[in-house]
Amino acid sequence: MVIEKDKVSAAESLRNTRTYGKFRCHNPSCMGRLVPTAGSSQVKCPVCGLEFRVAWIRPDFPRIRGPVWDVNRKIAQKAVAEKLGLKEES
């Protein structure tokens, strides 16, 4: 009976680790968890704020198509501006 019990728990843990619809942030220095909400065309990284375009292969199966350049460029420019600002102050 112990073996059967183990089988069930193994199957359950497998089910739990199946992560359709979850991605790692494409920002190599971030690697935050992206979880697109169903039907949304974009997902924002909760860690670094970069945004990515989402394509829905199936209603429950999203895929990251690529970064949203406008948003990401603004974030990059802001970061650069902040760096320059700090340099000027010091």
Footprint on this chain of Zn ion (rule: CB under 5 A): 25, 27, 30, 32, 45, 47-48
CB nearer to Zn ion: give 25 or 43. Answer: 25
CB nearer to Zn ion: give 26 or 63. Answer: 26
Separation of CA 58 from chain center? 18
Query: Among 64, 39, 69, 38, which Cα is nearest to 53's?
Result: 64
Q: Which helix (H) or strand (E) holds 69?
A: helix 69-89
Contact 22, 36 (CB under 8 A): no
CB nearer to Zn ion: give 25 or 54. Answer: 25
In the complex, minimum distance from the CB of residue 45 to Zn ion, in angstroms, rounded to a whole number: 3
In the complex, minimum distance from the CB of residue 12 to Zn ion, in angstroms, rounded to a whole number: 30
